[in-house]
Structure 1
């Protein structure tokens, strides 16, 4: 991997079109750079008092070509800028109620703001119109834009009984509540549309294992409850092709529900003792001069998280990430935070096991390089970790790349989508600096000029007929016989 010279920056946010990155430069500047060169595209002046109170920056989505619009918000004010047109700017003032959270609508033409204490959700159109949804639930999964129909947003609301409201935008830009329906939950904490926009999954509070599948009209299609006792659902993700709904739970399992019957096809287990000799396992080791992967053979014990006496033990599967091509799934159990499991969805087998020295921090599938997984790990109190970890289904071994800056102290990274423009570029952020990295293999040389940027001053439950254990390893359970199809 080749790296560009370091560029001073902080509070970085990359655009959805992968063309720009924005950073805050104190005391009063917002700097927009080109991703391709890290050269400056525009400098926006901010009030120093506002700059000190910035909570987040968010670029508009790339679905309508409006991805050059950037918003910056504090706990009371939202400023919105068009990077390519200095004459276009907007301000949302919520000084009275305050701002807890801000997001863009899926089409990038409206801004959603949640007030303090989540008293209401406001939808602000860039054309000047506004709309209020009362009593929205809190949390990043409390709303979901419908794929294929970005003018529709499903919102969880806390009333006498949990309900979902479908907010819809008319052709004249006016928002209304198109439909509201009650849901059979105790305290719903999340919802998500399927990639086709046909199904809406709603899951209950972790104290109960319950996931419900609704149509857009509010018809309950399926209710799935894996067990009654113990903590329930921790994470829910639709596969990119819409064939599976993956549900991670506190019992350390991932249940893949097929989207024909919404019954479990497969259960993925994460055991501390791996007995299957056919699993490709790799351990990170720290040699005299560099980190590397050594092959590991079963049986092998995986390191577990050690909780302090005053803490509750960590458990459950919180990381579920499908590859863009729908062929692979990567998972991580919080009980074993240093281990990544990579699964083949076609064969329903574990492809690889990556055991790290430190807890896994950030995981991304590369959007263009098929089967390429990129991730980072946490640093320790004594040592920093500037390593980038790469695994590919076509490689014999995973790889570790060290950012060649001893004091870089890597904190985050982003992977960019347009390989024709960026040559599989990745942006890495350290302590007040950033650098671009470019993938280079044995058959390709990275060609390009990097400009060093100027410094700015720093339905009912149905049980499966039988269960089979894959390869007798207790790492995967396949539901052999599926219930009858659900008809709507």
Structure 2
């Protein structure tokens, strides 16, 4: 396997939602990598771009590829490239342009796929409007005054694809819900929020939750799928309002219960607490607190420890007292729950409180919620990603430059292993799982220097990362997958 970097041009690799495609620009070429975990012949396709390199590359999420009268299908992937004057939509097999949208107004803030792979939405400068371009009909629709251009300002309902979007036409925040494809207005609701920070659909498509700015105190407004106000959550009743620092972020549990419904809405607070709301009533069932409890029923705590001068590390069991000694309060951004992510079956919740950003807390939600484990690191946690179908967690910390990944799974000792890839001086590595059979645990790991695809294996008690493929820049300046 060739691990040389060659020209050393930074790689900005854009991965699809399922991790099965990677794309980036090399010179004037668009390069697509598919089936990265395949042991067969490599699949790399290259196409010449019409104009200057795009400012962004995005994939259609797998649930948005396209629809037919018979239902949804994911047999075709699409991606878009966009610069100041042109949006191109590509299909990868074979790699060619499916459609072009030209004469884009200058200063667009964001470009995304819409309700499916045949829709492109463009947020215009100054948030004046949102344009929806229909690739199959050539038609264009418009929604005025979107409040945000990022993904928290709008969302498509799972499966049926109605659009919910926050607007700011005047002084008040407004939530509107629109029909799929026609974008006819279903409902319009003026919000009681001071400054709404975002919205999220529940994965079962039954609810839309909107949260207010933290300075307003705890306020989460829940609407039905057709935009009718259902509940307003303002925090546990026993909490003194003078100590209410408001909401940092929210997260829905997966729709994996017996009726494919969402059971829980997690509300991450600025004070470092997490309120768990049951969706039957949207009242607080439990509040999780990021405080180590020193008692006989303490959870298993794992502390990162360096084992040699090269920076290799391992996890060792730790006591609550030693965990405190390794958990200095953050002097960085304001306090709040910075990471909050559910396992694929909804039974576990991983969180990070920015006050002790080097600690990853893992909570069991079966029965009465409780802290089941905590991982204490030398550096702040940068990323925590659950496997799409198994209770396995990959963790990245803000390292100096060592390519290292951390792994956790219930009932097993967590592991730390070096990844055989070139060091990145910024220490900013990213991980992403690949979708695949449940027994497979393959993931991407990389930075602007190089990306590798592989899996963790144990041999003679040692854990190693086995590389299947790597994406790098070759001496001619082009990127390729090499084995």
TM range (shorter): 0.7 to 0.9
Q: How far apart, CA to CA, are the structure 1 residues paired with 2:121 and 2:202?
A: 21
Q: How far apart, CA to CA, are the structure 2 residues paired with 1:452 and 1:185?
A: 46
The answer to whether residue 415 in structure 2 is matched with residue 413 in structure 1 is no
The answer to whether residue 380 in structure 2 is matched with residue 359 in structure 1 is yes
The answer to whether residue 418 in structure 2 is matched with residue 402 in structure 1 is yes
Q: 1:264 to 1:378 in 2, by over 3 A?
A: same
Which deviations, in whole Å up to 9, do the C-alpha atoms of 1:208-228 show, x marking residues without a partner? 121111113332221111264
Compute the displacement of 1:84 (Å). 1.3
Which is further off, 27-36 or 104-113?
A: 104-113
The answer to whether residue 215 in structure 2 is matched with residue 201 in structure 1 is no
Partner of 1:124: 133
Compute the displacement of 1:55 (Å). 2.7
Partner of 2:24: 23
Q: How far apart, CA to CA, are the structure 2 residues paired with 1:220 and 1:418?
A: 39
Q: After TM superposition, list the pairs within 5 Å mapping 1:203-352 onto structure 2.
A: 203-208=211-216, 209-226=218-235, 228-229=241-242, 230-241=244-255, 242-271=262-291, 273-277=292-296, 278-288=298-308, 289=310, 290-300=312-322, 301=324, 302-307=326-331, 314-347=334-367, 348-352=369-373
Q: 1:430 to 1:195 in 2, by over 3 A?
A: closer
Q: After TM superposition, list the pairs within 5 Å mapping 1:56-205 onto structure 2.
A: 56-63=56-63, 64-65=73-74, 67-86=76-95, 88-93=97-102, 95-127=104-136, 128-138=138-148, 139-150=150-161, 152-160=162-170, 161-169=172-180, 173-205=181-213
Contact 1:282 1:296 in 2 (8 A): yes
Q: How far apart, CA to CA, are the structure 2 residues paired with 1:357 and 1:449?
A: 30
Partner of 1:469: none
The answer to whether residue 76 in structure 2 is matched with residue 36 in structure 1 is no
Compute the displacement of 1:188 (Å). 1.2
The answer to whether residue 408 in structure 2 is matched with residue 386 in structure 1 is no
Compute the displacement of 1:407 (Å). 2.9
Which deviations, in whole Å up to 9, do the C-alpha atoms of 1:46-91 show, x marking residues without a partner? 24x621xx33211112223265211112244322111114554322
Contact 1:67 1:108 in 2 (8 A): no
Compute the displacement of 1:448 (Å). 10
Instruction: Indicate the RMSD between aligned Cα atoms, in angstroms.
Output: 2.8
Q: How far apart, CA to CA, are the structure 2 residues paired with 1:184 and 1:251?
A: 23
Normalised by the length of structure 2, the TM-score is 0.83
Compute the displacement of 1:198 (Å). 1.4
Which deviations, in whole Å up to 9, do the C-alpha atoms of 1:435-473 show, x marking residues without a partner? 112232469999997699894524xxxxxxxxxxxxxxx
Which deviations, in whole Å up to 9, do the C-alpha atoms of 1:386-425 show, x marking residues without a partner? 1100000031x110010134535562121111137x9421
Q: Which runs of 5+ in 1 are unaligned?
A: 459-488
Compute the displacement of 1:184 (Å). 1.7
Which is further off, 107-116 or 385-394?
A: 107-116
Partner of 1:466: none
Compute the displacement of 1:190 (Å). 1.0
Q: 1:90 to 1:31 in 2, by over 3 A?
A: same
Highest relative contact order (Cα 8 Å, sep 6+), 1 or 2? 1
Question: SS of 2:205's equivalent?
Answer: coil
Contact 1:15 1:67 in 2 (8 A): no
Q: How far apart, CA to CA, are the structure 2 residues paired with 1:448 and 1:282?
A: 27
Question: SS of 1:23's equivalent?
Answer: strand
Number of equivalent positions: 437
Which is further off, 58-67 or 448-457?
A: 448-457
Q: 1:253 to 1:454 in 2, by over 3 A?
A: closer
Contact 2:248 2:336 in 1 (8 A): yes
Q: 1:280 to 1:342 in 2, by over 3 A?
A: same
Q: How far apart, CA to CA, are the structure 2 residues paired with 1:206 and 1:75?
A: 35
Contact 1:423 1:446 in 2 (8 A): no
Which deviations, in whole Å up to 9, do the C-alpha atoms of 1:87-115 show, x marking residues without a partner? 54322235434211122224332112111
Partner of 2:67: none
